[in-house]
Every structure is written in structure tokens, then in C-alpha cells.
Chains A and B, each alone.
Chain A
């Protein structure tokens, strides 16, 4: 079996601003498991509002963000919309492609190739 990369670094486009005004941009996301997708369904906030699933899911798979001790659902909730969207897209990429790459096809020769996703988030 190939060795699977399970954690991916990222840099948020804007960054999370904590209560002291410190900006946290660099972080790590791990690959998702069945638990990450099944457990949040028991959460009353998700039952009331299915859209909240993305918040809980990201708080589970984002393993670090800047110097924060923990990445809680509250942190994810308070992200700028562009940062939230960035993390959602990254989640899709790493879990569907197994790498932080975008699957592409050359329009001329139809050759399939991977483009390294922009790690700076900009």
C-alpha cells in the first residue's frame, strides 16, 4: 500500500482574528474519516440546521491554526467567509483527490494532469 499523506498545510487568505487581535493564518488539515462525517449528525446544532455540519466537520479536521490551542466550532464560525470557503474547497480536494491538487485536462491533447493547489490561499 502506498504511504498516504494524511495532513496538509494551508495558509488562509485572510486569517482568523482572535479576541486579542492576533491573526492566525497558517494551519493544518487532516484527511476525514467516517467518524468525522457521522458523529456531527448527532449534534443538535446540525439537526436544527444541516448547514452547520460544515462548521463541525471543519473543526474536527483542522488540527491546528496559528498559535490557537484548539480549533473549536466557534473558531470556524468566526472565520471570514472567504477563509471558510477556502477550507471547504480544500476539504473537498484532499478527500476526493487524496492530495491538495486540482485535477485538470489539457484541452488540446486531452492529457490528464494535476495542478498543485495554491497554498498561499490567494
Chain B
């Protein structure tokens, strides 16, 4: 059985908590795909704000 990579999981939870200020329980309750999607959206906003639209975001593989 393959769990979600733990280090990556903590990174994603911390990323959303840092930028969105959602409470811990809410973020922990997001399904993996939905959490990944929000990380990608926040990452896109950051790229636009930083003028790095052509660079890969933190959560893009």
C-alpha cells in the first residue's frame, strides 16, 4: 500500500496554512487531489505576483 509521501504532505499542508490561513483541521480534511489543486492555484498567484509566469511553480513536477 502506497501512502502519500509524508514530507510532501507536510509541505503542502504548511504551504496552504501559510498562504490561505485556513485552520489545520480544514486543510487536513481536504482530499489529496483537492489539496494539490489549491497548492497549484496559490502557486500560480505567487508566480504572477513575482513576475515568474514562465517559471515552474513550487508544486509543479
Interface residues of A (CB under 8 A from B): 1, 4, 6, 31-35, 37-39, 53-54, 57, 88, 91-92, 95-96, 98
CB <8 Å contact, A34 and B3: no
CB <8 Å contact, B37 and A34: no
What's the least CB distance linking A36 to chain B, in Å? 9
CB <8 Å contact, B29 and A95: no
Answer yes or no: B49 CB below 8 A from chain A CBs.
no
Main secondary structure of the interface of B (DSSP, over half): helix
CB <8 Å contact, B35 and A37: no
CB <8 Å contact, A33 and B3: no
Report A-chain residues with C-beta under 8 Å of the C-beta of B27: 34
CB <8 Å contact, B12 and A34: yes
With both beta carbons as reference points, the residue of chain A lying nearest to B31 in the complex is identified as A31
CB <8 Å contact, A32 and B9: no
What's the least CB distance linking A87 to chain B, in Å? 9
Tell me, in angstroms, the Cα distance from A53 to B4 when the chains sit together. Answer: 12
CB <8 Å contact, A37 and B3: yes
CB <8 Å contact, A34 and B9: yes
CB <8 Å contact, B4 and A34: yes
- Beyond A31-B31, A34-B29, A57-B3, 10 additional contacts (C-beta under 8 Å) are A31-B33, A33-B31, A35-B28, A35-B29, A37-B9, A38-B28, A53-B3, A88-B1, A92-B2, A95-B4
Residue-by-residue, is B2-18 near A (CB-CB < 8 Å gives 1, otherwise 0)? 11101001001100000
Report B-chain residues with C-beta under 8 Å of the C-beta of A57: 1, 3
Which of A32, A33, A54 gathers most chain B CB within 10 Å? A33
CB <8 Å contact, B33 and A4: yes
Contact of B31 among A1, A6, A38 (CB under 8 A): A6
> Which residues between 1 and 57 of chain B lie within 8 Å of chain A, taking CB atoms?
1-4, 6, 9, 12-13, 25, 27-35, 37
